[in-house]
Amino acid sequence: MARKILIRTPNHLGDCIMALPMISEAREAHPGGVVTVLVPENLADLFRGNPAIDELLVIPARYVHGLAGVLKIRDIVASGDYDVGYVLPPSFGAASAFKLAGVKLRIGYIADGRRLLLNKPLPLPTPLNSAHRSETYFNLLRRGAGVDLTYTPPKLFLNDQDIVQAIELLGRFGVAEEEPYAVFAHRAVAESRRWGVANYTELAKRTVSERGLKVVLIGGPEDEVEGERIGASGGASQVVNLAGKTSLREVAAVLSRARFFVGNDSGPAHLAAAVGAPVVVLSGADDPKETSPVTPRKALVYLSDLECISCVKNTCPLKGELHMQCMRLITVNQVEAAMARLLALDH
């Protein structure tokens, strides 16, 4: 009988993209195995149509965290009688659910006091955060299965219908099928990673006037208001605000047709890289050695000489002139120069 492999994905978009290489090679690591992926419902579309996955189990949004979530996930998983389980989130709860569900071999990194919940606990890379997170996820599979595997960068599988839907969506907002466009993710979730409406507005104006491209803004419902402000100031007929108006696969397909993407080190940047779009990434509080999108088609804007760079804090703790300097000191000219380097390399 084929071994049943269960993989619990991370809870965030960027991390799920970084986990794709590991997930895509799970069957290679366990020949003949049946691969099931357990994923929060808001991220499930990332894994639909992936030929490396045999079954998808979805965690309802209200059960992703907390004790109720542990018990719900136990119930979702228990009937599967899984032989091997990979726990990618570093939390106690994620490991607890696998233990309670009776997953036979539970593999994960040692973190959050959960060593005894795993019967194959593995130490994290040392020094901590010294490896790229995508490689860290991939190495969990390598070490857990005891096999040598070749790492390949994350790739998201889109189908013809995804592309057709993206073309139709853009058409409804005035972007014809043959029109070139750039995509901006104009607002980060973490306050410390925000470049600001004024900067994105100026960049949009220059992208329209100097490069002859329309600009498409993406994000969630909470990003819609700032998107409208950028559109109103940057040229409403040339700047399209899709924030809060797309599904995950729709935005992925929109990104796949873009001339390039601009945004911070975030889920949309990883998504853009995974569908092959050239990316300009503004890095500050994040650590690009650990979490920057994995692609050769990338230009990084990063003020490496700042003492506080890569603090990995969601809110800047500094005051006065030092506050948010890793983002505030990035100029539109620097981002434009990065765009030019990226486009030159892409030809």
- Neighbouring CB atoms inside 10 A of 210's CB total 9
Query: Going from the N-terminus, what domains does the chain have, and what CATH number goes with each?
Result: 4-145 (3.40.50.2000), 160-345 (3.40.50.2000)
Q: What is the largest CA-CA distance in the chain?
A: 64
Give the chain's end-to-end CA distance (angstroms, integer): 50
pLDDT digits (tens, 9 = 90+) for 173-231: 999 999 999 999 999 989 999 999 999 999 999 999 999 999 999 999 999 999 999 99
pLDDT digits (tens, 9 = 90+) for 275-310: 999 999 999 999 999 999 999 999 999 999 999 999
Strand, helix or coil for residue 64? coil
For residue 194, what is the DSSP state?
A: -
What are phi and psi for residue 3, nearest 5 degrees? -70, 140
* pLDDT value for 344: 84
State mean pLDDT over 156-177: 96
pLDDT digits (tens, 9 = 90+) for 119-156: 999 999 888 777 999 999 999 999 999 999 999 999 99
- Following CA atoms 167, 267, 56, 33 in sequence, which dihedral angle do they give, to the nearest 10 degrees? 110
Q: Which residues fall within 8 angstroms of residue 3, CB to CB, at 6 or more apart?
A: 30, 32, 33, 34, 83, 84
* pLDDT value for 150: 95
For residue 182, what is the DSSP state?
A: E
Q: Residue 257 has which token pair?
A: 């047709």
State mean pLDDT over 328-337: 97
Is the pLDDT score of 1 beyond 70?
A: no
* pLDDT value for 2: 72
pLDDT digits (tens, 9 = 90+) for 266-275: 999 999 999 9
d(CA 115, CA 104): 15
User: Does residue 25 contact residue 55 with C-beta atoms inside 8 Å?
Assistant: no
Q: Residue 304 has which token pair?
A: 């490496």
DSSP 284-302: SSS-HHHHS---SSEEEEE
Mean model confidence pLDDT for the chain: 95
Is the pLDDT score of 346 beyond 70?
A: no
Local confidence band at 166 (pLDDT 50, 70, 90 cut-offs): very high
**Beta strands 298-302 and 261-264, pairing class:** unpaired
Is the pLDDT score of 60 beyond 80?
A: yes
Is the pLDDT score of 83 beyond 80?
A: yes
pLDDT digits (tens, 9 = 90+) for 229-258: 999 986 768 999 999 999 999 999 999 999
Is the pLDDT score of 165 beyond 80?
A: yes
Three-point CA angle 209, 280, 276, nearest 5°: 105
Local confidence band at 65 (pLDDT 50, 70, 90 cut-offs): very high
* pLDDT value for 225: 95
Q: Using only the alpha carbons of the chain, give its radius of gyration.
A: 21
Is the pLDDT score of 29 beyond 90?
A: yes
- Strand ranges (E), 9-125: 34-40, 55-59, 84-87, 105-109, 120-122
* pLDDT value for 345: 73
What are phi and psi for residue 214, nearest 5 degrees? -75, 160
- Neighbouring CB atoms inside 10 A of 11's CB total 18
